Amino acid sequence: MAKSEQERSVSVELPDGSQLHFDEPVTVEDVAYEIGPGLGEDCRAGRVDGELVPPEYEITDDAEIEIVTPGSDDYLNLIRHSAAHVFAQALQRIYPEAELAIGPWTDEGFYYDIAGVDIDEDDFEEIEAEMAAIVEADYDIERVYRDREEALEIYADNEYKRDILETEAAGEEPVSFYVQDDWQDLCKGPHVESTGEIGAFELLQISSAYWRGEEENEMLTRVYGTAFESEDDLEAFLERRRKAEERDHRKIGQELDLFSIDETTGPGLPLYHPNGKTVLNELSEYVGNLNREADYREVETPHVFRTELWKKSGHYDNYRDDMFLLDVNDEEYGLKPMNCPGHATIFDQQQWSYRDLPVRYFEDGKVYRKEQRGELSGLSRVWAFTIDDGHLFVRPDQIEDEVEAIMDIILDTLETFDLDYNIQFATRPEKSVGSDDIWERAEAQLESVLEDQDIDYEIEDGDGAFYGPKIDFAFEDALGRSWDGPTVQLDFNMPERFDLSYVGEDNEEHRPVMIHRALYGSYERFFMVLIEHYNGKFPPWLAPEQVRILPISDDQIPYAKQIQNRYLDDYRVTIEDRSWTVKRKIRQGHEDRVPYMLILGSNEEEAGTISVRDRKEQELNDVDPEAFADHLGTEIDQRRTDVTFVQQHGN
């Protein structure tokens, strides 16, 4: 039956909130021309209800739309997607036997997974030269359609493209390809109009990746690259990348003997060395004090539970593929991927009155998630990690006050570590539990807190936890990179699933609301961020070694011990007693990023003083050791982020 004119009409909402109305379905490009001929000429793609699509994409229902033109944020994604095709074309010119898998854009560039050819980074120069020739030729990039049989014939010898045709493109007829010169690739787009629009590019590195990220599949070669509109933008990116490599937490972790990840113990299972554990202990003590001051009570739950618990909580259905499961005496158990079911069970062990709420629990709880090996990366993504978890059980009328209090603690925490941040409000994901009514109530409660506190935030549609919406804090490090961190999550579902209750003022049973929160997120990722943010130069209160005493000769070792025992007994202090020159001792102290070095020679011993050198290479002589110890104590007690003694006492 043909649609009526009313049924065929389409309304689109533009970023400024204005609307355009059409009597029939229209393409993104049609909308752009309707706004203005110049915008139509410049249209390279569109965002329709959040999805990036090519100009010829047809809009058949009411939608929100944004036109992508050169200079738009999304234009860089188009350049990078097209650069991935240019790489693939260049590769197949040099190595015709190369098989192509997938080649998407990423936040930092693009990658292409390939098979059938053995290349390494020494081959980049030749491939980049061929890519430059393709960009210089300025080939038109055109979208064409092939019928399914023709597409299958084109990829008769490419199992990866055939897999895509039979899965992601299973319902498409005809099938979308993009063509440049005599080369083509199965692709939905979008792309720039010609290869000449790629202003600058560079291939970065090679790694391995399983097809589809599944370990039972074939291992492919993944080539990473990046692309920008201009050489200046590329050079700025490469400089940021160089600085990031210098601050890489894996490199610094080895230099400072903080942690290691050994394949013999298993991937994604970090081992913390004494220096690293010292930092973690300080982090735990800091956040533990915050919890106790806010009337949280510490609990502890085991690492493994029967899967009956995970089925009850909903984790089994939603997290089973990411869980480590094991059989014990014909019963199935699972290492815990989250701490919340254990805390809910503790709450359920006794009866509660409305006067008892809120009940607040906290735990540094170790959890386990079976990430794909190819996704593991240092401390940023691991199999075993510790969440500074907190769970609150509250009456509905207490929600806003408790969420506000949690956010105040989070903001104080981020300020302590001198971390900038932004806030996202994440709504119901596609894979979730609970009724529409529950989700609407939960989202309205969290959004009300954000609005009442006049907090700037972005909405992340569909990015909530499977059991409830959340407020996420993403912190920025010294290089401007963003990392997931603290979170506040509102949960009406788990109390229902666990049949939790309290007795209200009316002597009837009522359902509490559960709030999940973490002040760091996880210790592993937060530790990683701090290592890179500070470049290993931890604030004195966190530093594994706060002071290193450098006797100029063995004759001053007794004086060094006297200074340590009399003035610095409460701090983490070592004496460098190796038979090195003082110059070498100082150099090693700077390489180890020790906040303060105390240099002791015969003059200092005779005068009963010390010479103080900080890691900024500032030095002050004839210092009263008691004055230094008092200052160090103040820096540590106030959790200052940098060394300030020489600067404050040098005048």
Contact 198, 141 (CB under 8 A): no
Q: What's the rounded Cα separation, in Å, for the pair 334 and 313? A: 13
Q: What's the rounded Cα separation, in Å, for the pair 49 and 59? A: 10
Q: What's the rounded Cα separation, in Å, for the pair 227 and 210? A: 24
Contact 450, 443 (CB under 8 A): no
In 3D, which of 554, 589, 557 has the Cα closest to residue 575?
557
Is 391 annotated in some ligand binding site? yes
Q: What's the rounded Cα separation, in Å, for the pair 370 and 323? A: 6
Residue 459: how many other CB atoms lie within 10 Å: 12
| Residue whose token pair is 């499977």 | 466
DSSP 446-500: HHHHHHHTT---EEETT-SBTTB-EEEEEEE-TTS-EEEEEEEEEESHHHHHTT-
Q: What's the rounded Cα separation, in Å, for the pair 486 and 463? A: 15
Is 516 annotated in some ligand binding site? yes
User: Cis omega (within 30 of 0) on the bond before 174?
Assistant: yes
CA 438 to chain centre: 29
Q: What's the rounded Cα separation, in Å, for the pair 372 and 211? A: 11
Q: What's the rounded Cα separation, in Å, for the pair 256 and 289? A: 27
In 3D, which of 614, 642, 644, 410 has the Cα closest to residue 542?
642
Q: What's the rounded Cα separation, in Å, for the pair 216 and 6? A: 51
Element (H, E) at 614: strand 610-614
Q: What's the rounded Cα separation, in Å, for the pair 514 and 340? A: 9
638-642 contacts at long range (C-beta below 8 A, 24 or more positions apart):
639/286, 639/416, 639/539, 639/541, 640/539, 640/540, 640/541, 641/417, 641/418, 641/534, 641/539, 642/539
DSSP 3-state of 5 = helix
In 3D, which of 176, 190, 230, 200 has the Cα closest to residue 66?
190
Q: What's the rounded Cα separation, in Å, for the pair 397 and 395? A: 5
Element (H, E) at 172: none
DSSP 3-state of 104 = coil
CA distances from 567 to 612, 626, 627 (A): 14, 6, 9
Q: What's the rounded Cα separation, in Å, for the pair 367 and 302? A: 10
Q: What are the E-state strand segments in 248-396?
A: 259-260, 271-272, 297-298, 304-306, 325-328, 331-335, 359-368, 384-394
DSSP 3-state of 435 = coil
Q: Could you tell me which residues come within 8 angstroms of residue 462 by beta carbon, excluding any fewer than 6 positions away?
A: 426, 427, 428, 429, 430
| Binding site as annotated, residues | 340, 391, 516
| Binding site as annotated, residues for Zn(2+) | 340, 391, 516
